[in-house]
């Protein structure tokens, strides 16, 4: 086992004297430094970016082929196209059937799957490290030669319609679906999934056309992490596998018209709901914005985990909810923030008031120093914990590529979190967190909570189906 | 590493399996008060997991107190003598860590995963609540509400969950200890008293009924010293009585239909009483589970999802739904949960599952397939053990259930030693229709008044 992260270890333990003072938390040294492991980057002549990280702790390799081909490229009349391409991508190539692909994957001790997010479509693979050449061959075949067999597309359509119905039976899904539509308006980030009609209209040709246009080397990054062979041999292997892949001019980028945030109240009626799912949210800046770090720290003060204001007030003090938290999600072109809780119908009104009050409080007073340092430590530690496994490191690096950010974003993350000042946070909170311009989306039984919700303003009622 | 590309159809399973060996280091000992301690050092990433497993779960509950073990788990976050309410979350999270607890049929566990400089903080917190939990009316009332809200959120408002947590155990077991609802009823939760909580704490949350596991960026001598400092003088208690989980002899086939107002897609659970933990049949059934459900080339996927296009999603496990092969403690079933296309009936789905099992009973699994499944199993295990949390969980489980944390390094060999003949024999012995329980979960829209569905709404 070698030292993957060249971290400085300061012994916490010598500091503890005996007998111990149990009445307060033991003194401990500062959080250990984290340094990103060496990341080697290169580019093939056809435009394919290559990222390689050595991690020999376990006899495994994890790989990603990340494309700029997410759901924001779905045509208006076909929401879910990128997701469908990803789902059927691994179900057959010109020379391999779906069964052969899955047997080959399993015989390597591996995995192979593809998924689409808002910005990126990612083919993910892994294998026991001795099987890396086979994994590279298989991933190249899938990326270049996937042919979307008719029967596999039909099966995807059939099952996706069923799973969509199952998803839409979940209040959390209905809430996320509605708030994305409200916050992102007519922009390509407004949909989080397909519609049944769009799934029904899919055919192999449509999927193949999307793939042919966007799954090209000059729109992709190949990332490898794990117990790897010598660098020169590895690069030669990659060149042999991926060098002949033809580059192509990319289609025009979609237009992004993000609506100005304003207060709207939408109730998604779900008769029989025993509780109300509350989402208060609005548009927020990308990670490239100067506002990102102050806002991210602020959102963690508001509702990041069990030490946050929402958790302490809404769950611990008031006992309104099991879960109360906030989220700040960023896409490449925009982002959104949300305060979320699920409460029983009887306490709906005070709970919604409490959510709005916590948001407004962020914009009213600066965050006290000790609370702020706790949140910064929380974020720094969470960041460290995410990088424990190969999957964790490769996901972070792949995310950087998809969001168009430099690796230095990861390296400087902790330092930039630490540098955030209360005054900056107050400034961005007035701009983004104050609840006045935030949309309120509630999923629940309109006959139980509809009248109450009207106390907060004009309510639009939507059907849950 | 071979430089030439190997043809993708070459069989590499045996080679891969051999090269994948690795060993988790283990240091184990016991404090004078009976606390079992397992340390495993890995200084690669500056992260440490502190994990405590108490040998008590929901199957130790008494009648009239369903859901109590879980309620008690919540009480463990309500503060202790030196770490009042809120300190636990604050101390772990403000230092960058994560923490949680979870209640299972036969054990309850708690963990902190945090930057390694904070090891002492985690030990301070865990020892303080083992020594001096704050048990009072206010905390209890507060957590009853939190548990009820958790039930509303995670069970009553989710499709399938209520059927699985409330109805399934009643179908699988005759002994009340196993057949009662593990999340519990509101009535029983309301009935829980401070005296109940105090008694449960004394009986089960003693050092001699627990194991402490520390995995990650530590130094052994300093860690031993810290453990002794914080846990060494917590008094032990009389050994706790184990619940009698014996099931009446002779399992009869059972079937039940559950109407789920929140489900949109029909589901069915098919289960069979399983063998004794770590018996040869246990390993054989675990292999059967892998043949049916592990990896993309698993039989349920190729034959039912792809072939018959009947199954949409599946999950299965030894000990499903609350346990896995790792924390399986008999009596447990082997069960499969399917969501399926409504073009099919529940009866058709059950017979499709039984047909898959019949294949296992009637013909030995071929060598190539068995080798592939073993490779999948081995790789899955290595991937899982990458995180300190999963290593700690496995070490704790093997220590408490089997008395040997060293199984983390050898159990995979036992799991992959199963032969085709053993698979066939276990399928014949355990997975027969006459010892099968079936739970149908039928979508039943809530809007319809009682009886309306019949009239063809």
Q: Which among B321, B243, B326 is positioned nearest to B282, based on CA atoms?
A: B326
Minimal Cβ distance to A13: which of B91, B97, B222: B222
Q: Does B387 touch chain A (CB under 8 A)?
A: yes
**How many residue pairs from chains A and B have C-beta atoms closer than 8 A?**
304
pLDDT at B10: 30
Q: Does B364 touch chain A (CB under 8 A)?
A: no
Q: In this complex, do A13 and B219 lie within 8 Å of one another by their Cβ atoms?
A: yes
Which residue in A137, A155, A166, A303 has the most chain B C-beta atoms within 10 A of its own C-beta, making it the best mutation to test that interface?
A166
pLDDT at A33: 75
Residue of B nearest to A61 (CA): B383
- From chain B, pick out residues whose CB is under 8 angstroms from the CB of A3: 43-44
27-66 of A, contacting B, C-beta below 8 A: 28-34, 57-60
Distance separating alpha carbons of residues B433 and B336, to the nearest angstrom: 14
Residue A373 pLDDT > 50, yes or no? yes
Which residue in B16, B311, B457 has the most chain A C-beta atoms within 10 A of its own C-beta, making it the best mutation to test that interface?
B16
- From chain A, pick out residues whose CB is under 8 angstroms from the CB of B25: none
Minimal Cβ distance to B263: which of A137, A169, A316: A169
- The DSSP secondary-structure symbol of B52 reads E
The domain made up of B254-446 has a fold known as Cytochrome Bc1 Complex; Chain A, domain 1 (3.30.830)
Say whether B254-446 and B27-231 share the same fold.
yes
**pLDDT beneath 50: ranges in chain B:** 1-20, 448-457
Residue A175 pLDDT > 70, yes or no? yes
Q: Does B420 touch chain A (CB under 8 A)?
A: no
Q: What is the pLDDT of residues A223-274, one digit of tens each?
A: 999 999 999 999 999 999 999 999 999 999 888 989 999 999 999 999 989 8
Q: What is the pLDDT of residues A101-160, one digit of tens each?
A: 999 999 999 999 999 999 999 999 999 999 999 999 999 999 999 999 999 999 999 989
The domain made up of B27-231 has a fold known as Cytochrome Bc1 Complex; Chain A, domain 1 (3.30.830)
Which residue in B264, B390, B443 has the most chain A C-beta atoms within 10 A of its own C-beta, making it the best mutation to test that interface?
B264
The CA distance from A180 to the nearest CA of chain B, in Å, is 22
Q: Which among A213, A167, A214 is positioned nearest to A65, based on CA atoms?
A: A214
Can you give the residue ranges of every domain in chain B? 27-231, 254-446
Say whether A265-463 and A40-242 share the same fold.
yes
Q: In this complex, do B297 and A103 lie within 8 Å of one another by their Cβ atoms?
A: yes
Q: In this complex, do B45 and A105 lie within 8 Å of one another by their Cβ atoms?
A: no
Instruction: Taking residues A298-320, report their average pLDDT.
Output: 93
pLDDT at B44: 85
Average pLDDT in chain A: 92
Q: Does B23 touch chain A (CB under 8 A)?
A: no
Q: In this structure, are residues B266 and B347 in contact, taking their beta carbons and an 8 Å threshold?
A: no
The superfamily CATH assigns to domain A265-463 is: Metalloenzyme, LuxS/M16 peptidase-like (3.30.830.10)
Minimal Cβ distance to A388: which of B86, B145, B388: B388
- From chain A, pick out residues whose CB is under 8 angstroms from the CB of B48: none
Q: Does B74 touch chain A (CB under 8 A)?
A: no
pLDDT at A18: 56
Q: In this structure, are residues B399 and B30 in contact, taking their beta carbons and an 8 Å threshold?
A: no
Minimal Cβ distance to A131: which of B16, B86, B149: B16
Residue of A nearest to B78 (CA): A316
Q: Does B386 touch chain A (CB under 8 A)?
A: yes
Helix (H, G, I), strand (E, B) or coil at B203: helix
The CA distance from A126 to the nearest CA of chain B, in Å, is 10
Q: In this complex, do A134 and B90 lie within 8 Å of one another by their Cβ atoms?
A: no
Q: In this structure, are residues A106 and B376 in contact, taking their beta carbons and an 8 Å threshold?
A: yes
pTM to 2 decimals? 0.86
Q: In this complex, do B264 and A3 lie within 8 Å of one another by their Cβ atoms?
A: no
- From chain A, pick out residues whose CB is under 8 angstroms from the CB of B223: 13
Q: SS3 for chain A, per residue?
A: CCCCCCCCCCCCCCCCCCCCCCCCCCCCCCCCCCCCCCCEEEECCCCCEEEEEECCCCCEEEEEEEECCCHHHCCCCCCCHHHHHHHHHCCEECCCEHHHHHHHHHHCCCEEEEEECCCCEEEEEEEEHHHHHHHHHHHHHHHHHECCCHHHHHHHHHHHHHHHHHHHCCHHHHHHHHHHHHHHCCCHHHCCCCCHHHHHCCCHHHHHHHHHHHCCHHHEEEEEEECCCCHHHHHHHHHHHHCCCCCCCCCCCCCCCCCCCCCCEEEEECCCCCEEEEEEEEEECCCCCCCHHHHHHHHHHHHCCCCCHHHHHHHHHCCCEEEEEEEEEECCCCEEEEEEEEEEHHHHHHHHHHHHHHHHHHHHCCCCHHHHHHHHHHHHHHHHHHCCCHHHHHHHHHHHHHHCCCCHHHHCHHHHHHCCCHHHHHHHHHHHHCHHHCEEEEEECHHHHHHHHHCCCCEEEEECC
Q: In this complex, do A129 and B339 lie within 8 Å of one another by their Cβ atoms?
A: no
Q: Which CATH class is domain A40-242?
A: alpha beta
Q: Is it true that the peptide bond before B294 is cis, omega within 30 degrees of 0? A: no
Q: What is the pLDDT of residues A40-66, one digit of tens each?
A: 999 999 999 999 999 988 899 999 999
Sequential DSSP letters for B110-130:
EEEEEEGGGHHHHHHHHHHHH
Q: In this complex, do B93 and A306 lie within 8 Å of one another by their Cβ atoms?
A: yes
pLDDT at B86: 85
Q: Does B376 touch chain A (CB under 8 A)?
A: yes
Q: Does B135 touch chain A (CB under 8 A)?
A: no
Q: Does B219 touch chain A (CB under 8 A)?
A: yes
Q: Does A241 touch chain B (CB under 8 A)?
A: yes
Residue A221 pLDDT > 80, yes or no? yes
Q: Does B100 touch chain A (CB under 8 A)?
A: no
Can you give the residue ranges of every domain in chain A? 40-242, 265-463
Q: In this complex, do A32 and B116 lie within 8 Å of one another by their Cβ atoms?
A: yes
Q: In this complex, do B46 and A272 lie within 8 Å of one another by their Cβ atoms?
A: no
Q: In this structure, are residues A108 and A134 in contact, taking their beta carbons and an 8 Å threshold?
A: yes
Distance separating alpha carbons of residues A1 and B341, to the nearest angstrom: 48
The CA distance from B407 to the nearest CA of chain A, in Å, is 19
Residue A193 pLDDT > 80, yes or no? yes
Which residue in B45, B124, B232 has the most chain A C-beta atoms within 10 A of its own C-beta, making it the best mutation to test that interface?
B45
Q: In this complex, do B152 and A344 lie within 8 Å of one another by their Cβ atoms?
A: yes
Residue A397 pLDDT > 60, yes or no? yes
Bridge partners of residue A321, in order along the sequence: A343
The CA distance from B249 to the nearest CA of chain A, in Å, is 39
- From chain B, pick out residues whose CB is under 8 angstroms from the CB of A165: 264-265
Query: Which position has the token pair 């054990």?
Result: B107
Task: Retrieve residue B2's tokens.
Answer: 């071979």
Number of residues that make up chain A:
465
Other beta carbons less than 10 A from residue A164's beta carbon: 20
């Amino acid at each position: 086992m070698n030292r993957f992260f060249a971290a400085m270890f300061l012994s916490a333990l010598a500091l503890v004297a005996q007998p111990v003072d149990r009445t307060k938390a033991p003194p401990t040294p500062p959080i250990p430094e984290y340094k990103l492991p060496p990341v080697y980057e290169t580019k093939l002549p056809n435009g394919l970016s290559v990222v390689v990280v050595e991690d020999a702790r376990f006899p495994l390799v994890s790989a990603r082929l990340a494309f700029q081909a997410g759901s924001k490229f779905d045509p208006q009349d076909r929401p879910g196209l990128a997701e469908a391409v990803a789902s059927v991508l691994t179900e057959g190539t010109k020379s391999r059937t779906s069964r052969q692909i899955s047997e080959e994957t399993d015989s390597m001790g591996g995995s192979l799957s593809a998924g689409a997010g808002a910005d990126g479509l990612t083919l993910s693979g892994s294998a026991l490290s001795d099987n890396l050449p086979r994994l590279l061959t298989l991933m190249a075949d899938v990326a270049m030669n996937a042919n979307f067999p008719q029967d596999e597309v039909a099966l995807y359509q059939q099952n996706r319609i069923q799973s969509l119905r199952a998803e839409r039976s979940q209040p959390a899904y209905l809430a996320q679906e509605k708030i994305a539509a409200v916050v992102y308006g007519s922009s390509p980030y407004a949909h989080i999934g397909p519609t049944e009609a769009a799934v029904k209209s899919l055919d192999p040709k449509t999927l193949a056309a999307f793939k042919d246009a966007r799954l090209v080397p000059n729109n992709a990054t190949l990332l490898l992490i794990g117990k790897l062979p010598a660098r020169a041999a590895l690069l030669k292997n990659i060149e042999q596998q991926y060098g002949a892949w033809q580059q192509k001019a990319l289609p025009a980028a979609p237009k992004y018209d993000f609506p100005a945030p304003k207060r709207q109240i939408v109730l998604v009626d779900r008769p029989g709901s025993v509780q109300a799912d509350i989402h208060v949210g609005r548009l927020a800046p990308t990670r490239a914005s100067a506002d990102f770090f102050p806002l991210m720290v602020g959102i963690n003060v508001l509702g990041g985990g069990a030490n946050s204001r929402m958790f302490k007030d809404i769950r611990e003090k008031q006992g309104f909810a099991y879960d109360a938290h906030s989220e700040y999600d960023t896409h490449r072109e925009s982002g959104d923030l949300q305060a979320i809780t699920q409460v029983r119908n009887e306490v709906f009104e005070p709970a919604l008031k409490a959510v709005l009050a916590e948001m407004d409080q962020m914009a009213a007073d600066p965050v006290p120093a000790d609370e702020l340092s706790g949140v910064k430590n929380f974020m720094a530690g969470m960041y460290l914990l995410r990088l424990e496994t190969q999957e964790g490191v490769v996901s972070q690096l792949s995310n950087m590529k998809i969001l168009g950010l430099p690796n230095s974003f990861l390296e400087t993350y902790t330092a930039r979190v630490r540098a955030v000042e209360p005054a900056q946070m107050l400034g961005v909170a007035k701009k983004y967190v104050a609840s006045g311009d935030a949309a309120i989306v509630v999923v629940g039984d309109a006959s139980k909570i509809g009248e109450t919700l009207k106390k907060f303003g004009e309510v639009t009622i939507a059907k849950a189906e | 590493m071979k430089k030439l590309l190997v043809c993708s159809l070459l069989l590499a399973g045996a080679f891969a399996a051999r090269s994948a060996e690795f060993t988790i280091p283990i240091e184990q000992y016991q404090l004078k008060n009976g606390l079992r301690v397992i340390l495993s050092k890995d200084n690669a990433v500056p992260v440490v997991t502190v994990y405590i497993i108490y040998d008590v779960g929901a199957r130790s509950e008494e009648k009239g107190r369903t859901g109590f073990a879980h309620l008690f788990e919540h009480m463990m976050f309500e503060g202790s003598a030196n770490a009042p309410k809120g300190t636990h979350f604050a101390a772990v999270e403000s230092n960058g860590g994560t923490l949680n607890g979870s209640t299972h049929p036969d054990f309850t566990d708690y963990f902190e995963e945090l930057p390694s400089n904070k090891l002492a903080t985690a030990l301070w917190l865990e020892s303080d609540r083992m020594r001096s939990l704050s048990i009072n009316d206010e905390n209890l009332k507060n957590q009853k509400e939190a548990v009820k809200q958790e039930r509303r959120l995670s069970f009553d408002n989710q499709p399938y969950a209520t059927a699985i947590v409330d109805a399934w155990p009643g179908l699988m077991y005759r002994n009340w200890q196993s057949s009662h609802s593990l999340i519990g009823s509101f009535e029983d939760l309301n009935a829980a008293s401070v005296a109940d909580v105090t008694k449960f704490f004394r009986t089960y949350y003693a050092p001699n009924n627990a194991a402490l596991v520390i995995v990650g960026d530590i130094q052994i001598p300093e860690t031993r010293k810290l453990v002794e400092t914080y846990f060494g003088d917590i008094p032990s208690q009389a050994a706790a009585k184990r619940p009698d989980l014996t099931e009446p002899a002779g399992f009869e086939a059972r079937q039940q239909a559950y109407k789920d107002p929140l489900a949109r897609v029909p589901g069915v659970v098919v289960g069979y009483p399983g063998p004794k933990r770590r018996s040869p049949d246990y390993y054989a059934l675990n292999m059967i589970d892998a043949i049916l459900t592990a990896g993309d080339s698993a039989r349920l996927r190729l034959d039912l999802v792809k072939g018959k296009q009947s199954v949409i999603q599946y999950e299965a496990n030894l000990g499903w739904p609350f346990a896995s092969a790792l924390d399986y403690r008999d009596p447990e079933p082997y069960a499969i949960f399917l969501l399926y296309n409504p073009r099919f009936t529940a009866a058709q789905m059950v017979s499709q599952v039984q047909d898959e099992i019949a294949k296992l009973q009637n013909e030995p699994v071929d060598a190539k397939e068995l080798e592939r499944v073993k490779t999948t199993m081995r790789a899955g295990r290595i991937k899982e053990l990458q995180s300190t949390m999963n290593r700690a969980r496995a070490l704790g489980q093997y220590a408490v259930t089997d008395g040997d944390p060293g199984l983390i390094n050898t159990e995979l060999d036992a799991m992959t030693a199963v032969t085709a003949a053993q698979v066939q024999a276990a399928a014949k012995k355990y997975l027969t229709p006459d010892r099968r329980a079936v739970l149908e979960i039928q979508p039943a829209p809530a809007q319809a008044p009682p009886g309306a569905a019949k009239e063809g709404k």
